[in-house]
């Protein structure tokens, strides 16, 4: 569905309409043919859809007080749309999103919104030791608590010149409760999803935190990138 911002005419367009796709590049707006991507119907997709159905149904079974609490929490939660404009979500959407996010990574169901201090995302880096150019990992500089899960995502192996990787990240590994700073080896999980590393290609990685107590997903800073030697 195409989305637009109104001025005297249109000032911005996003989405798809009649086989065309509206988007915005670094220097200009673009209009391209809409390409239908593959939908592999993976086990992860099926499990996520099941969770969405589960908590959409569970919303109806909440008490009036619980729904009111979620609606209030939603008014204090800002999101951004395709244009980067800030908006408030709904209590129902917040309830479903936070519960799916929690259970997807080993947490528990959350009947009421959790009001807590925002967790601090550990700084992370991508080691590149000369002794093993095929190493692929993420290093964290602080411990990860027992109630916190770090979710690591990566792109496939891309051209070194490609910098726009939005939408290309796929989750490859989750790690919970690391008591000391550590380097997390991601190579087995990466090659299982994307294949053997190829010299001359570049991989982009990012990490974010999911807390069973604080329930909100906190992305880390800019994604890291590594050229395969």
pLDDT per residue over 130-173, tens digit each? 555 567 888 888 777 777 778 888 999 998 888 888 888 888 98
User: Average pLDDT, stretch 5-25?
Assistant: 69
Q: Tell whether pTM > 0.85.
A: no
Q: What's the rounded mean pLDDT across residues 65-81?
A: 85
- Residue 53: predicted pLDDT: 93
Please state, in angstroms and rounded to a whole number, the distance separating the CA atoms of residues 14 and 30: 10
Closest CA to 229 of 192, 198, 189: 198
Residue 115 has pLDDT above 70, yes or no: no
Whose CA is closest to 167, among 98, 69, 82, 78?
Answer: 82
Least confident interval from 13-22, 64-73, 179-188: 13-22
Q: Which of 1-5, 98-102, 103-107 has the highest mean pLDDT?
A: 98-102
What domains, with CATH codes, occur in the chain?
43-104 (no CATH), 124-227 (2.60.40.10)
Decide if pLDDT at 65 tops 80: yes
């Amino acid at each position: 569905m195409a989305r637009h911002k109104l001025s005297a005419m249109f000032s911005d367009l996003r989405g798809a309409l009649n086989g065309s796709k509206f988007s915005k590049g670094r220097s200009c707006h673009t209009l391209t043919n809409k390409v239908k991507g593959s939908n592999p119907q993976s086990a992860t997709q099926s499990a996520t859809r099941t969770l969405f159905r589960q908590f959409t149904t569970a919303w109806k079974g909440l008490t009036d007080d619980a729904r009111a609490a979620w609606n209030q929490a939603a008014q204090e939660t800002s999101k951004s749309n395709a244009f980067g404009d800030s908006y408030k979500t709904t209590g129902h959407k917040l309830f479903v999103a936070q519960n799916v996010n929690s259970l997807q990574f080993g947490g528990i169901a959350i009947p009421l919104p959790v009001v807590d201090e925002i967790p601090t995302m550990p700084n992370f880096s991508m080691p590149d030791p000369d002794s093993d150019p095929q190493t692929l990992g993420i290093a964290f500089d602080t411990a990860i608590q027992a109630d916190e899960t770090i979710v690591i995502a990566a792109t496939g192996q891309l051209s070194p010149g490609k910098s726009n990787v939005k939408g290309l990240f796929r989750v490859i590994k989750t790690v919970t409760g690391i008591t000391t700073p550590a380097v997390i080896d991601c190579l087995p999980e990466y090659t299982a999803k994307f294949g053997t590393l190829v010299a001359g290609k570049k991989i982009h990685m990012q990490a974010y935190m999911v807390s069973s107590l604080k329930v909100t997903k906190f992305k880390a800073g800019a994604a890291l990138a590594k050229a395969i030697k």
